[in-house]
Amino acid sequence: MIDVQPIIDQLTALVPGAELSPCPSADADATPALWVSAAHIVPVALALRDTPGLEFVAFSNVTAVDYHPKRAPRFDVVYHVVSPHRRTRLRLRVQLGLDEPIASVTSVWAGAGWCEREVYDLFGIVFDGHADLRRLMMTEDWVGHPLRKDYPVQVRKDAQTYMPLQITAEEFRANMERDRYSRTRPK
């Protein structure tokens, strides 16, 4: 596992006032992780991308975790970025309270746009500065955010079903003849 302290030391010098600390990695791949204050996510992201020797130029994804409605802060927003130069991945974690927005990182990594929309749609986390923050997974008329812990899972919504097209054998043959004729006709 890579020690994140040298990365934190570099970022502290590059982004004055940024609150950064190591985050223990509980996953099987032991990806190095650090806590970042919500107010400093964009400057830290810029420093990670643009600093020679760090060069975390590849954005992998962003997701969120809703631990519990009574936990403060309630959400963790989790970013995964990659440095081909260092041949390593890095996880950035930001803690947010309910209805607390976070700045969009699309100005740093354009590929974050769709992922931020998904997090907004499923968790209700608002990304300030996002150019097109609207639902991505759920329909526009959907109420609520289904990955929140307090989302009512017993909601019943009738499934939309459609009747298959019913045609007679004669209509089917006529359609096949018409298609065959249109394919063999000289152009």
Q: Concatenated DSSP letters for 27-90?
A: STT---EEEE-GGGHHHHHHHHHHSTTT---EEEEEEEEE--TTSSS-EEEEEEEEETTTTEEE
The per-residue pLDDT for 120 is 97
Question: Which residues in the chain land under pLDDT 50?
Answer: none
The per-residue pLDDT for 141 is 87
The per-residue pLDDT for 92 is 96
Residue 177, Cβ neighbours under 10 Å: how many?
10
DSSP 8-state symbol, 138: S
What is the helix (H) or strand (E) element at residue 115, kind and residue range? helix 112-123
The per-residue pLDDT for 27 is 63
pLDDT in tens, 40-83: 999 999 999 999 999 999 999 999 999 988 999 999 999 999 99
Q: What is the pTM of this model?
A: 0.79
* 48 CB burial (10 A radius; 0-12, 13-18, 19+): buried
Q: Which domains does the chain have, with CATH numbers?
A: 5-156 (3.30.460.80)
The per-residue pLDDT for 47 is 97
The per-residue pLDDT for 145 is 94
